[in-house]
Amino acid sequence: MDHDDDRELSRRMAQAYPRVGPPDAAAKARLMDRLRREPQPARDLAWRPARFALIWNPALAAAASLVIGTAVGWVLHGRLDPRAATPNLPPGIANVSTTRELRLVQFVLTAPKASHVTVVGDFNQWDPVATPMARAASGAWTAAIPVSPGRHVYAFIVDGDRWVSDPAAPLAPEDGFGIRNSVIVVGGQEST
């Protein structure tokens, strides 16, 4: 019984199939035109997270803020640290350019028998080793330092332990430490 039914179905399909011809050209053109106007589907990449959203996490935000704040502090280190205003400069830096705030000042001390001389003052936070001076053939020791405009006090340290005031500059009043400093005025247009 089943075999008879199958044979009947096959016969009918064989009769019907040849009748299905290709679509006419106009219908095909309409179909293709419609397909072209359809929007392109987005590519679905396997590695992309299915859902991405900003989540307000206070603890994470605070931690990120600390990291950013520390980084900003590190970046601004040179601007906040007063030591950065008077960098340790190598000897013989006469060609260092000045900024709008700082003026290049040349310090000179004649000490032909000295083996080591530094200049120390409020402009380098009185650091005895911050600003070594360079020895010239004449026996003079020189250092060029960028200094902010204003009145500054300073002295020279010869061979590590002998404090010497600048013979070419006036002396500051006694300040309680027993060693008189020299005074320099750095102005907007001219300096000593």
Partner 1 sequence: MRRGLWLLAIITALLAPLAVHAQSADRHLLDRLDPATADEVWKIAETARQQGVPYQSLLLTAAEGASKHAPPDRTIAAVRERFRALSAAREALGAESTPGEISAGAGALMSGVSADTLARLRQMRPKASLLVPLVVLADLVTRHVPVETASSAMLHASRMGAKDEDLLRLRSRVESDIKKGVSPAAATMSRLQGLGMSPPPPPRAGAR
Task: Using the rule CB under 8 A, give the single segment among 6-14, 68-76, 101-109, 134-142 that binds partner 1.
Answer: 68-76
Residue 157, Cβ density class (10 Å: 0-12 exposed, 13-18 middle, ≥19 buried): buried
Binding mask of the shown chain, residues 163 to 192, with x at each position contacting partner 1 by CB under 8 A: x------xxxx-xxxxx---x-x-xxxx-x
Q: Rounded to the nearest whole angstrom, what is the least distance from the CB of residue 66 to partner 1 in the complex?
A: 5
Q: How many H helices and E strands in the chain? A: 4, 7
CA distance 64 to 186: 44
User: According to DSSP H, which parts of the chain are helical?
Assistant: 2-16, 25-37, 58-75, 77-80
Per CB under 8 A, 116 contacts partner 1: no
User: Minimum CB separation from partner 1 for residue 170, in Å?
Assistant: 5
AA letter at 17: Y
Site for partner 1, rule CB under 8 A: 56, 58, 61-62, 65-66, 68-70, 72-73, 76-77, 80-83, 120, 122, 125-128, 150-151, 163, 170-173, 175-179, 183, 185, 187-190, 192
